[in-house]
Amino acid sequence: MTEGNFVDYVKIHINSGNGGKGSAHLHREKYITKGGPDGGDGGRGGHVVLKGNKNLWTLFHLKFKRHVKAGHGEHGSKQRSSGADGEDQYIEVPLGTVIRDTETQDILHEITEDGQEVVIAEGGKGGLGNWHFKSSTNQTPRYAQPGIPGEEKDITLELKILADVGLVGFPNAGKSTLLSVITAAKPKIADYEFTTLKPNLGIVQYRDFKTFVVADIPGIIEGAAEGKGIGHRFLRHIERNSTLLFLIPADAKDITKQYEILVDELRRYNPEMLDKDRLIAISKSDMLDDELKAELKEELDNAFDVPYMFISSVAQLGLTELKDKLWEMLNKEVE
């Protein structure tokens, strides 16, 4: 999927269908002098339904679909014939989609399972025909109920990628390179900052045909909460990850300081992010000789309160151990 095809935020105006009118028909037939009321009910208006589809990874198919309108219910007719229900409109979305009311920003629903259906706008109820209102004192009611109008609202769809591990790091920390090495993903890689402009997903093939999913988001910089760099726009894609992998390059001026900045930006975005399991990977460690690595290890042992390891995506160093550790962290509750 190309970078421009990744869409994770769309606004849509939706209308459910109006209910059909009930019929006020009076039965007329040769040799039947007083047929009485026989007006049928109106049909229900069509619903607007959101449906989860595991084969979708983006909201791109909805990028240019600004209006969704369900069908109206048909009116009732003679001989107690009910009108047909309006046609429901289905909007298929990827798993992890959050539906908000655009005006209030309240979360209405979340789609997390394949085939899950949520009625986001109910069709109007059809009106009752006049035969419902006949009685001993009102034998020829000449009225029926009108249908109830459908709902009209603006909704916002936000995609939060469902992945097991989220990569967190500064621009050019090597996140995309790591993703390209441990998965079959082919993210854009270059030697300038903010090469990654959209989130990327990759599936790690682990031992015995086991797999887990890794999400790479655009790099965070200090001040992202104030909108610097790309800001916090894509951090929602790692909100559902159970484990966060912090990637810090070995040639960073201050590894501890970089980690503290990243943690602080996550805290400012959503304090609950700090409750997730964390692992630190010191990338580009092939640049370190044994002596430098020993000095750095002594420094980091005193600075970090979370596990860390040295890796190199280019030199393929420590990647097996990294996958082992991630798998252990992801499955620690199961064991």
How far apart CA 305 and CA 277 sit, in angstroms, is: 12
C-beta of residue 133 within 8 angstroms of C-beta of residue 143: yes
Comparing CA positions, the residue from 59, 200, 56 lying closest to residue 116 is 56
9-15 and 67-69 strand pairing:
parallel
Residue 169 assigned as binding residue: yes
Enumerate residues 6+ apart whose C-beta is below 8 A from 160: 96, 97, 98, 236, 237, 239, 240
How far apart CA 335 and CA 330 sit, in angstroms, is: 10
- For 207: left if phi > 0, alpha if psi spans -120 to 50, otherwise beta; the answer is beta
Residue 20 assigned as binding residue: no
Residue 8 assigned as binding residue: no
Enumerate residues 6+ apart whose C-beta is below 8 A from 297: none
Residue 284 assigned as binding residue: yes
Residue 77 assigned as binding residue: no
- Residue 56 half-sphere exposure toward CB, CA atoms < 13 A: 24
Residue 96 assigned as binding residue: no
Residue 219 assigned as binding residue: yes
Residue 170 assigned as binding residue: yes
Residue 173 assigned as binding residue: yes
Residue 195 assigned as binding residue: yes
Can you tell me which residue has the tokens 């899950």? 116
Residue 157 assigned as binding residue: no
Residue 149 assigned as binding residue: no
107-111 and 97-101 strand pairing:
antiparallel
Residue 257 assigned as binding residue: no
Residue 21 assigned as binding residue: no
308-310 and 277-283 strand pairing:
parallel
Residue 243 assigned as binding residue: no
- Cα separation values, 262 from 220, 227, 255, 280, Å: 7, 15, 11, 11
C-beta of residue 82 within 8 angstroms of C-beta of residue 29: no
Residue 171 assigned as binding residue: yes
C-beta of residue 6 within 8 angstroms of C-beta of residue 58: yes
211-216 and 165-169 strand pairing:
parallel
Q: Which residues are annotated as a binding site for Mg(2+)?
A: 176, 196
Q: Which residues are annotated as a binding site for GTP?
A: 169-176, 194-198, 216-219, 283-286, 312-314
Q: Which residues are annotated as a binding site?
A: 169-176, 194-198, 216-219, 283-286, 312-314
